[in-house]
Structure 1
Amino acid sequence: MTNPIKGKKPFEQVELFQANMVEWPVKDDLASMEFPIFSLSKNHDTEIREYENATTKKRIRITPSVVGAATVFDKDLLLFIGSQLIEARQSGLPIARKVKVDIYRFLTGTCRSPGGNSYYLVVDMLRRLKGTNLETNIITGGVEQVKGFGLIDDYEIERKTSNGKGALEVNVTISEWLYNALIQYEVLTIDQRYFKLGQALERRLYELARKHTGEKVLWKCDIEILRQKSGSTQDLRRFRSEIRSIIKRDSLPDYRVALDKSAKIQRVVFYTRSNKALTQELQKMVDGFSWFEKLEKTVPV
């Protein structure tokens, strides 16, 4: 599922990398796309969460600090940093785990308002990213971390706003676990429109669809398994209701969402927005068009 990036040449590492690449296709690491590391809550979330893939036996335990768990919206900073590192790596530039980030560039690059309050919120974001502790057997870059670690190791505010409460420029040291994934290109490109998704579950479902559908036409997942993979803490009834709302909004880049109620265990179906590709795929399936017609969805083929 990784992007086919040829020629993993040796690269130079330095003490500090400046994230000032002008163009940077958004790269998302495979581990956090697959596993529910980030909280879906916009509220103060201090709940300890655990997830294990029953098939692969890969597991993860997420323990927030008193400031709360890192959220899917906090992840934007890691996406920004990781994408910049990947772009620099491909361009033959030296990189480092310690990254200097201009907050204005980060805000505008991730479709956030560069208004005054945003610079204060970044500081809270950094606190949550550093405070969220992971314990996992998920290997990145061929290395298994045998100790607990934060999503970022450290941060320091290089330049503050005039009142001293916000950050204009920060140095962020990302975890070795994430860095190993990035330098080995264990990533997928995601659509820039991801940053415009305002609902946490929409973002998470897009990541899962991108990871599991990839270049395929559709992906089906049992609704309870999807609930677990998404990291949702809602009961199944409420989760199904949220899925139905997302079906109606039809806002995910690249994919549409449908609900398959034909089986005893309901499934959520993610399918391409390309009518041509979808038609060709349904033609290959036994009773494909009949099955698709019965789905609870927004747009017919």
Structure 2
Amino acid sequence: MHIVNAAVKDDIHSMEYPLFSLAKRADTEVREYRDARSGKSLKIIPSAYGMPTIFDKDLLIYAMSQLAAAMNQGQPVSRTIVFQTSDFLNATKPDKDGGKNYTLIIGSLRRLRGTTLETNIETGGKLETEGFGYIDDYKIVQPTSRGKGALAVQMSLSPWLYRALMNFEILTLPKGYFALGQPIERRLYELARKHAGSTGVIWKISMQRLLEKTGSKQSPNEFAKQVRAIIKSDSLPDYRVFLDKAKKPYNVVFITRNNKALTEELEKKNLFDWYEELSKSNPRD
């Protein structure tokens, strides 16, 4: 299956909760996350290959995007999708050398299949009571000439993830999401899209709470330094990021790049002075 220019879709649950590693090396640490506010919890038990990274997630995003586009066209769909690796790479890594990615995709499949999730996060109103993987299985339909990579892949989404798709528990991402090269950039964008995208044009969160929601293993100081670097580089699509220094501890603020929507919000809530001060205290490159 491959539908050209399919809208990019991501499930709201993996956008909200830290289901993917931000590390660049194999992350085999068992992780537990509990959200005291919502009562949601998850336990991630990696295999020897490590926890799936936020870049491995591109495979799930691609599959969900293709299935959602097929549904919109009235085509029959199932949890299992067969696709050419070249189509996946063209959709998610158009500006990168795709040669080695035909081999790297197998590592992504291993991490997605080998890692076990235990969670009380429901999808489609149903709770999984047993451990499950991000995908149920995969098959290399067509290997590369030397047998070390994959030209075509068959992959089955887990029922947990498929239910989210079937119940439209998904949001649209810009294609610029795939151009974000730092794991933390991708994670911050996901959170902003999930929160600011659904509740308004401005989303505030404390630095400590943001650290927890990203799933980053950095120290608070290291994390704050990285957030400041992203604020300065102004790299996220759709949103600009600011530090609100009016009170301590500082809040991190995500604000839409849609000037019309922002102006209406600032006028409605009488926030023009606040926004002007915010802009002055957050220099950009």
TMscore range, shorter length? over 0.9
2:100 is paired with a residue whose SS is helix
Q: Are 1:140 and 2:123 counterparts? A: yes
Question: What amino acid is the match of 1:229?
Answer: K
Q: In the aligned structure 2, how far is the partner of 1:297 from the partner of 1:289?
A: 16
Q: In the aligned structure 1, how far is the partner of 2:264 from the partner of 2:70?
A: 39
Q: In the aligned structure 2, how far is the partner of 1:213 from the partner of 1:102?
A: 35
Q: Offset of 1:274 from its aligned partner? A: 2.6
Pairing partner for 1:70 from 32, 35, 52: 52
Q: Deviations over 1:69-100 (max 9, x none)?
A: 10000000000001111111121111111110
Question: What amino acid is the match of 1:231?
Answer: G
Q: In the aligned structure 2, how far is the partner of 1:68 from the partner of 1:297?
A: 37
Q: Offset of 1:68 from its aligned partner? A: 0.8
Q: In the aligned structure 2, how far is the partner of 1:70 from the partner of 1:298?
A: 35
Q: Are 1:184 and 2:186 counterparts? A: no
Pairing partner for 2:273 from 284, 290, 295: 290
Q: In the aligned structure 2, how far is the partner of 1:22 from the partner of 1:293?
A: 42
Q: 2:45–2:51: 8 Å Cα contact kept in structure 1? A: yes
What pairs with 1:45-84 in structure 2 (closer than 5 Å)? 45-84=27-66
Pairing partner for 2:90 from 100, 108, 115: 108
Q: Are 1:171 and 2:169 counterparts? A: no
Question: What amino acid is the match of 1:243?
Answer: V
Pairing partner for 1:121 from 91, 100, 104: 104
Q: In the aligned structure 2, how far is the partner of 1:111 from the partner of 1:44?
A: 21
Q: List 4+ stretches of structure 1 deviating above 6 A.
A: none
Q: Offset of 1:282 from its aligned partner? A: 2.2
Question: What amino acid is the match of 1:235?
Answer: S
- Residue 241 of structure 2 aligns with which residue? 257
Gaps in structure 1 of 5+ consecutive residues: 1-18
- Residue 203 of structure 1 aligns with which residue? 186
Q: 2:89–2:98: 8 Å Cα contact kept in structure 1? A: no
Q: Offset of 1:114 from its aligned partner? A: 5.4
Q: Deviations over 1:89-117 (max 9, x none)?
A: 12111111111021000001102435321
Q: 1:150–1:175: 8 Å Cα contact kept in structure 2? A: yes
Q: In the aligned structure 1, how far is the partner of 2:28 from the partner of 2:107?
A: 14
TM-score, normalising length from structure 2?
A: 0.95
TM-score, normalising length from structure 1?
A: 0.90
1:107 is paired with a residue whose SS is helix
Q: Offset of 1:297 from its aligned partner? A: 2.3
Over the aligned positions, Cα root-mean-square deviation in angstroms equals 1.4
Q: Offset of 1:49 from its aligned partner? A: 1.4
Question: What amino acid is the match of 2:100?
Answer: N
Aligned pair count? 280
Gaps in structure 2 of 5+ consecutive residues: none
Q: Offset of 1:20 from its aligned partner? A: 1.4
- Residue 77 of structure 2 aligns with which residue? 95
